[in-house]
Structure 1
Amino acid sequence: MKEDQITKHSSIHDLDSPYNVFPFPPVIQTGERQDQSQASLAFYVQIIRKHFLMIIALTALCTLTTAVYMARKPDVYGAAVRVQIDVESNPASGINGKPVVINNSASAPDYFETQLEILKGSGLLRRVVKTLDLEHNKAFFRPQMGQRTTWQRLLDMVGMGRDSGDSSQPVDDGVLMTSSVAPATDKEDLAEIKRLNPFVGAIQSGLEVEQVGKTRLVEIRYTHRDPHVAAKVVNAIADTFVQANLEKMTETNSGAGAFLKKRIYELQEQIKNGEERLINYAKDNQIISLEPSQNTVVERLNSLNRSLLTAENDRTLAEAAYRAALEPGAAEALAASNQSTAAAKLSDLRQRLAQLKAEYTDKWPEIKVVQEQIAEIEKQDVENKTNSKSLAVKGLETKFREAQRREQEIRDAFEKARSETITQNSAAVNYRILQQEIQTNQELLNGLWQRYKENDVILAGTPNNIRVADYANTPERPIGPQRTRGVGLAFAFSLAFGIGLALLRELSNNTVRTMSDVTRSIRLPTIAVVPTVKSWPASKLLPSRKLFLQPRNGNKNGRPLIMYDDAHSRLAEVYRKLRTTVLLSRPGKTPKTLLVTSSMPAEGKTTTAVNMATILAQTGASVLIIDADMRQPTLHEIFQLDNSHGLSTLLAGKNNQAEMLSLIHQHEETGLYVLPAGPPPIKPAELLSSGQMRRLLEITSPSFTHVVIDSTPVVSFTDSVLIANLVDGVILVVQGGKSPKEIVQLSRKELMDVGANIFGVVLNNVDVTAQDGYYYYRPTA
């Protein structure tokens, strides 16, 4: 039979809305159909309501976890300082008394941006680390001041925490401004750069620099867990920035000053070393002084020179007298000359003695001296007269030799003194060279000192175009973390995630759950939607044996079985709708033989077959239910029948009509006629495909109003496919939320391939508690 013929013969036609989940055919639904947008909205609302507890639990867990996490995060304090950046000018370079503008931020906007980047640069921050000595400041990485407990932060998040200003934490009133700025790190000092990198990175992570509106002000903000450290660091950054800018502006003069200072130091060292060399040289060469008035060597040489001239003159005269005496007759003349000389001298002495005696006595010392001289001259005169000639020559010779010897001695002393003077003159030359070198360095040092002082004056007159407008104070209240905001975002995101997870679970579920799934995917009508037992209020399901057949009776899922005295139960109403749909499925002719099957095991086909047969029997019809599931029979357990003989016995043997009907049992409580499966055969499929099965249906059809057959799952075995073309119609049971669409589609295809007349699908075990807006039958009192 073609698919359109099957749909036409059913009481349920195509359903446009994919979200209509009816517990019974839509012919009893009241109200108008909602449009597509309303149906979509209702579908999402239903999903949210279905997974409401999961969404709430996930949201509460994430929100609480975030709250605890945010409460455990330490407080963060922020301090801000403002720096004013003006145009760069230098009055020292002015023309006619007017300063020259070096850089105008209006004409060079990149100047301002450059300054902002310098503020965040590693070079500037390294100077800050060195200035504050953060390497030895334990509070930088492990702050203790201003931190509250986790409980206090939780209370603060809900508005119950006390003001931070009332905290008993001690307040550090230390100096917030730096007295001096450390020098910049040398570019080649890679070890220091590497050592300071962790501190620079920590400062950069909490540093923010931005321009204040369209002004020349720049606001520097720094956050830290210690309020005092936050204020000190941001103030140090501002001071270091100002100092670095001044150093840049005076870089030329500063370079010259550094060069002058270096040269001054070098000259001072050279002068010091030169003076030490000069002293050691004078000591080694015995130089006391080079002044003529204080130089003993030169003075002694001059004295010896004069003595040598005198000695040479005396020697010349003595030699001339001696050589003259050697001439013939010169000796006698010399002797006579000597005698006359002695007589004249003797006369003079005698006159002198007479004068002295006139004034003094003979004991006067001078008188005695004169007397002795007179005696000596007289003695000599006597001797001279004796040897006048020989003595005169001998005397001249002796005098000559004495003068010659004396000359030689003085000459030797002069040559020695002259040699010493020459040596000293050579040392004096080197000594004076050292003196001149020291004097030259001293003059150069004096000039450099003068230039250095002039350079300092120029540096002092250079203005700084950057200054600190407002320093930061120690913050009293933390500015972060934004705990309330974080918890709020966590709540929003976790709620959205929970809803998304619920939607994902629903949309990724490939099982058949709704009538729309059956219509779109299986392309079969839904003839009934059987709700799950937990969907019904307990007061509406009587927990009696007449309502439930316990698992010991074969109903392993504990599904309710309708009895004749449960006429007003909602579950009975569902099966009444199913009965009506089946009876009206063939216009002009009521179907007699029905096959109830499923795609997979444990989908509720046996429960549906029993309930369907029971509800048909309530109309007074004679209904036979056959257990064709000879692989796992259950009807004999449900109805508590003997299974030693049954369907397998009939199909295996050649029985007449009376023998076949004799194996059928009647259940007193329901009025149903039951044919159990009988002993399990070796090859059930071969028995069902035999002519005995067709003959059985031909025999039982005239005897019973309806014949309901419970068979095996379609996908697992071929039993149902073999029976499908022998009956008037097939009811396919699908358990909602369990049966994959592909499996059900395969089952439909196999049944359609053999020409089975599929009435439709019974959507079993569906949770309909979340479905609103539909009409349900409510029993009246």
Structure 2
Amino acid sequence: MLSLAAGPGPEADEDRSSFVPVLLNYWHTAVRWRLVIAAIFGACLLAGLAVTLLMAPLYTARTGIEISREQKNVTNVEGVESEQAGRDLEFYATQYSLLKAESLAKRVARRLNLAKSDDFFRAHGVSAEQLQKVDRTGRQSGGSSPRERLVMAILLQHVDVQPVRNSRLVDIKYTSRSPEMSALLANTWVEEFIGSTMDRQFSSTSDARRFLEGRLEMLKARLEQSERDAVAYASGKNIIPLDEGTDGGTRTPTSRTLASANLEALNEALQRAQADRIVAQSRIAGGSAANSVEVLTNPAITQMRARRAELAAQHSQLMVTFEPEYPAARAVQEQIIALDAAIAQETGRVAKSRQQDYQEAVRRERDLEQKVGALKAVLDGQRHDAIQYNIYQRDADTNRQLYDALLQRYKEVGVAGAVGVNNISVVDEASVPTRPSAPNMTFNLALALLAGLSLSVAAVIGLEQIDEGIRRPEDVSELLSVPLLGSVPLVKEDPVAELSDPRSQLFESYFSVRSTLAFATTHGLPRTVALSSARSGEGKSTTAFALADLIGRTGKNVLLVDADLRMPSLHRILNMPNEVGLSNLLAGDDDIAAIIQDTGRKGLYLLTSGPLPPSPPELLSSTRLAELLQVFLKDFDHVIIDAPPVLGLADALLIGRTAEGVVFVVEAEKTPRRAVRAALRRLREAGNQIFGATVTKVAAHSGAYGYAYGYRYGYGRKDAPASGEDG
């Protein structure tokens, strides 16, 4: 087969007429091994038919599910997995692998208790004897029982996961001999797959909660310690914080302590004292107290002045009528003097109170200044101490924030784990199948044909590699390094009868060999030609007779010599006696004319082998054969010698050396190339000239030799098309 696929060599490039297309070579090969191919195809079809008829009916149930990348979360609480966790390319491949996991098969087996279910084993063709054999095997340490392992193997073998292309849908199919069992297992398989997915999610949530619990305990201890450190430091430094905040510009943490609050209050009191002192001082520096606001607004002084004004008016009226010494006028005057004294006394008291207010304001201002200065010193020291206190406080705040965040996440994970999420939904539940899914006669026969085709190709390739026969005309020149004289077809009738008909295919092919042989020498047809082959039965004797007969038809006298002194056959081909012959002449008999027989064919005479000698090489090794040939050539134009096969014998080497050359006969597709090469090598080493090779018994289907295309087209046959009709 490999040689058939090879391209044409240089000789083929020069002679395009000998080129055979590759596909045609394949066809020739298939036709050559048609019986083997037919046998393989027939055996495969019979096997497929037998398997189909003997198989138990199987029922397949289908459950359709949808696997989404996004989980269907019933709460707004984020789970442990991120939103992008399921968007990887491996997501669906992982889901398909999980659908075929052994752990899922174990869940299904344990849920339905299949290890103890006889219906399950009957639905899968497991007999009671097989179960007993399984039960006799021991349980593995720490593993499942033998039945459980068998159940898991059966489940995984009969479940089929088929993703629907370009979708999120997946078909889960289960096949068994029981339609009810198939539907039950298909639905249970999907339910357990959803359950295992939920369990894995809950397990991951539990792991996250355990991790968060550990982190919370650690952060809680750190938070408590950092708060203790901050409080202890504040107590040691007498820092009493009232409230805390941050500077809006620099976001630096600030704290308001008791000292700063006291300082603010004293500072405000100092400011008020200073204001009071300034007011008191301005009152003192403002002039006489009689015209001051306090005096003018004093109720007592106002009343006394009003009374004095009344008395003054009364006194003036009395003065109009009476003298100043008038008792009534004097009494009024004395009252006026008393009121003036009282007013002066009250005015003096107001002036004295101004002075006292000023002094008190000065003292209060001075005291407040002293206290503010002392608090400034205290606050300045606390500000230096507040640096370390802020460090403790920031550490406590950081730990508190981490603790609060982890606590919130812990609560969210707890809620998500309690509610659960699911990204798998059932689209179609499996129903009990009503028709078997297998065996499928058409599918099984098609599979058998495919197997037959594969086996046929493999067998033909193997046979082609093993077969070393000559299959193509080019093989003679390419593989044997000898010229191709012609090829002779295989005929079913008697070759002698076929050669009697000039229009026969056999006649035409041998005539072509005779014509090609005429170009083997410079003087035309060789006068003495020996025919031999690698082994017996290759058509050597028939070829010798055919060449001799064809040469005799051209008006030449031809002597056909049967030199095969071991297995002669020419006398049987021509139906002539063989009492005397070549062996007698080689032994010394000189009556050549009495031994040579006339065949009755034009120009053809026969010298049979005669009695078989005990040692043919002894007779052939002498010079007697060469002398006889010289004698024959005096009466005959050509001498055709039928020699024995080359391999294993020395006869052909001795005979060929006495003739002008040898025509080597090769049976098509039968004789191994190694045998032909060995025979040709022996002939050459013995000094024989080889005119060429003739390929015999070419099957009519072998298009490589042209017989498949109507070799006998035309040539004057009665059934040939008339001139001008193209076949």
Instruction: Give the AA of the match of 2:651.
Output: D
Distance 1:570 1:222, change over 3 A: closer
Say yes or no: does 1:763 pair with 2:695. yes
Q: 1:43 aligns with which of 25, 30, 48?
A: 25
Distance 1:751 1:76, change over 3 A: same
Instruction: Give the AA of the match of 2:597.
Output: H
Distance 1:774 1:116, change over 3 A: closer
Aligned to 1:296: none
Query: Which runs of structure 2 are paired with 1:577-726 in the superposition (5 Å)?
Result: 577-639=512-574, 641-653=576-588, 655=590, 659-669=591-601, 672-726=604-658
Q: 1:235 aligns with which of 155, 175, 187?
A: 187
Q: Is the 8 A contact 2:176 2:182 kept in 1?
A: yes
Say yes or no: does 1:515 pair with 2:473. yes
Quote the Cα distance in structure 1 between the aligned partners of 2:199 and 2:513.
Answer: 96
Give, in angstroms, the shift of residue 192 of structure 1. Answer: 5.8
Distance 1:531 1:189, change over 3 A: closer
Aligned residue for 1:574, secondary structure, equals helix
Quote the Cα distance in structure 2 between the aligned partners of 1:501 and 1:663.
Answer: 54
Query: Which runs of structure 2 are paired with 1:142-221 in the superposition (5 Å)?
Result: 142-143=122-123, 190=142, 194-208=146-160, 220-221=172-173
Aligned residue for 1:524, secondary structure, equals coil
Distance 1:208 1:572, change over 3 A: closer
Aligned residue for 1:492, secondary structure, equals helix
Q: Is the 8 A contact 1:228 1:475 kept in 2?
A: yes
Aligned to 1:99: 77
Distance 1:128 1:645, change over 3 A: closer
Aligned residue for 1:128, secondary structure, equals helix
Aligned to 1:748: 680
Distance 1:511 1:74, change over 3 A: same
Instruction: Give the AA of the match of 2:81.
Output: N
Give, in angstroms, the shift of residue 593 of structure 1. Answer: 1.6
Instruction: Give the AA of the match of 2:501.
Output: D
- Percent identical across equivalent pairs? 28
Q: 2:418 aligns with which of 455, 459, 462?
A: 462
Q: 1:16 aligns with which of 7, 11, 29?
A: 11
Quote the Cα distance in structure 2 between the aligned partners of 1:688 and 1:720.
Answer: 9
Query: Which runs of structure 2 are paired with 1:412-427 in the superposition (5 Å)?
Result: none
Give, in angstroms, the shift of residue 131 of structure 1. Answer: 2.8
Instruction: Give the AA of the match of 1:102.
Output: V
Q: Is the 8 A contact 1:15 1:519 kept in 2?
A: no
Quote the Cα distance in structure 2 between the aligned partners of 1:643 and 1:35.
Answer: 44
Quote the Cα distance in structure 2 between the aligned partners of 1:673 and 1:461.
Answer: 112
Distance 1:464 1:189, change over 3 A: farther
Aligned to 1:131: 111
Instruction: Give the AA of the match of 1:612.
Output: L
Say yes or no: does 1:571 pair with 2:506. yes
Query: Which runs of structure 2 are paired with 1:259-274 in the superposition (5 Å)?
Result: none
Aligned to 2:712: 776
Aligned residue for 2:79, secondary structure, equals strand
Aligned to 1:472: 429
Distance 1:105 1:227, change over 3 A: farther
Quote the Cα distance in structure 1 between the aligned partners of 2:28 and 2:642.
Answer: 35
Aligned residue for 1:101, secondary structure, equals coil
> How large is the RMSD of aligned CA atoms in angstroms?
4.1
Q: Is the 8 A contact 1:87 1:104 kept in 2?
A: no
Quote the Cα distance in structure 1 between the aligned partners of 2:432 and 2:657.
Answer: 88
For each residue in 1:617-674, what CA deviation from the matched residue of structure 2 results, as whole angstroms up to 9, or x when unmatched?
222222212222222333444445554433222222274xxx3334322233555322
Q: Is the 8 A contact 1:532 1:765 kept in 2?
A: yes
Instruction: Give the AA of the match of 1:201.
Output: A
For each residue in 1:572-626, what CA deviation from the matched residue of structure 2 results, as whole angstroms up to 9, or x when unmatched?
2222223323334323454222212222122222222222222222222222122
Q: Is the 8 A contact 2:505 2:711 kept in 1?
A: no
Q: Is the 8 A contact 1:47 1:503 kept in 2?
A: no
Instruction: Give the AA of the match of 2:479.
Output: S
Unaligned runs of 5+ in 1: 1-13, 21-31, 92-97, 146-186, 256-457, 535-540, 542-547, 549-558
Instruction: Give the AA of the match of 1:233.
Output: L
Say yes or no: does 1:490 pair with 2:448. yes
Distance 1:506 1:651, change over 3 A: same
Give, in angstroms, the shift of residue 51 of structure 1. Answer: 3.2
Distance 1:224 1:526, change over 3 A: same
Distance 1:60 1:660, change over 3 A: closer
Aligned residue for 1:713, secondary structure, equals coil
Quote the Cα distance in structure 1 between the aligned partners of 2:202 and 2:599.
Answer: 115
For each residue in 1:44-79, what CA deviation from the matched residue of structure 2 results, as whole angstroms up to 9, or x when unmatched?
112223333543443243134224424525323123
Give, in angstroms, the shift of residue 215 of structure 1. Answer: 8.6
Q: Is the 8 A contact 2:64 2:169 kept in 1?
A: no
Give, in angstroms, the shift of residue 39 of structure 1. Answer: 2.6
Give, in angstroms, the shift of residue 695 of structure 1. Answer: 1.7
Higher RCO (CA < 8 A, seq sep 6+): 1
Quote the Cα distance in structure 2 between the aligned partners of 1:572 and 1:670.
Answer: 15
Q: Is the 8 A contact 1:599 1:744 kept in 2?
A: yes
Q: Is the 8 A contact 2:471 2:668 kept in 1?
A: yes
Give, in angstroms, the shift of residue 526 of structure 1. Answer: 1.9
User: TM-score, structure 1 length as denominator?
Assistant: 0.54
Give, in angstroms, the shift of residue 767 of structure 1. Answer: 0.7
Instruction: Give the AA of the match of 1:591.
Output: P
Aligned to 2:136: none
Distance 1:618 1:77, change over 3 A: same
Distance 1:703 1:65, change over 3 A: same
For each residue in 1:493-540, what CA deviation from the matched residue of structure 2 results, as whole angstroms up to 9, or x when unmatched?
422432443344234311223322211121112212121113xxxxxx
Query: Which runs of structure 2 are paired with 1:377-416 in the superposition (5 Å)?
Result: none
Quote the Cα distance in structure 1 between the aligned partners of 2:679 and 2:192.
Answer: 82
Quote the Cα distance in structure 1 between the aligned partners of 2:416 and 2:615.
Answer: 115
Distance 1:647 1:15, change over 3 A: farther
Q: Is the 8 A contact 2:47 2:448 kept in 1?
A: no
Say yes or no: does 1:560 pair with 2:496. yes
Aligned residue for 2:529, secondary structure, equals strand
Q: Is the 8 A contact 1:254 1:459 kept in 2?
A: no
Give, in angstroms, the shift of residue 701 of structure 1. Answer: 0.7
Aligned residue for 1:142, secondary structure, equals helix
Distance 1:483 1:459, change over 3 A: farther
Instruction: Give the AA of the match of 2:420.
Output: N
Instruction: Give the AA of the match of 2:179.
Output: P
Distance 1:691 1:80, change over 3 A: same
Distance 1:503 1:776, change over 3 A: farther
Quote the Cα distance in structure 1 between the aligned partners of 2:204 and 2:615.
Answer: 109
Instruction: Give the AA of the match of 1:103.
Output: E
Q: Is the 8 A contact 2:124 2:176 kept in 1?
A: no
For each residue in 1:423-454, what CA deviation from the matched residue of structure 2 results, as whole angstroms up to 9, or x when unmatched?
xxxxxxxxxxxxxxxxxxxxxxxxxxxxxxxx
Unaligned runs of 5+ in 2: 1-8, 126-138, 208-413, 719-727
User: TM-score, structure 2 length as denominator?
Assistant: 0.57
Quote the Cα distance in structure 1 between the aligned partners of 2:440 and 2:83.
Answer: 37
Distance 1:202 1:766, change over 3 A: same
Count of aligned pairs: 480
Give, in angstroms, the shift of residue 763 of structure 1. Answer: 1.2
Instruction: Give the AA of the match of 1:126.
Output: K
